[in-house]
Amino acid sequence: MVINIGWLKDRRYAELLSEIKAVRASCEGKVLKVIVETCLLSEEEKIRVCGLVAASGADFIKTSTGFSSGGATREDIRLFAEHRTPTLKIKAAGGISTFEDAEALLSLGADRLGTSRLVKLAMKAGIAGPGGPRK
């Protein structure tokens, strides 16, 4: 799901938490990733939304849909890693264009990466094919 960014900007935290919890309840047994579009948020909003997503019981907080003005940054992943609960995972997505970027984001606390660019680079380099890594 993508959060209601307007509610976050308007500090309607209780409503935002309630909505995420409702989605969490409706997808029982499924993984819930909550997309927050970090490129549109202040540092304070990122910290606040990380707490709300953690409190909701969601499985992941995800940086970006990939359709806004920016994607995952090292600073965002570091910030989320500092403010998440032990059960909340981080998915870095959007703008990851090199293997070095991917390695850095993982080392800073990302648990999963969303990146079609790296798949294309790996295929071009002969590291992976359409079905996954090559042996």
Find the CATH number of the domain harbouring 103.
Answer: 3.20.20.70
Q: Which residues does residue 60 pair with via DSSP β-bridges, in sequence order? A: 33, 89
pLDDT attached to residue 6: 97
The boundaries of the domain holding residue 60 are: 5-133
Output the pTM of the full model.
0.89
Distance of CA 26 to the CA centre of its chain: 20
Of 102, 11, 3, residue with least CA distance to 48: 11
pLDDT attached to residue 128: 67
Provide the phi-psi class of 11: left if phi over 0, else alpha when psi is between -120 and 50, else beta.
left
Is residue 86 over pLDDT 70?
yes
- The SS3 call for residue 62 is strand
The number of distinct structural domains making up the chain is 1
Q: Could you report the per-residue pLDDT of 32-77, keeping only the tens digit for each?
A: 999 999 999 999 999 999 999 999 999 999 999 878 888 899 999 9
Q: Are 49 and 71 in contact (CB under 8 A)?
A: no
- Phi then psi dihedrals of residue 62, to 5 deg: -120, 135
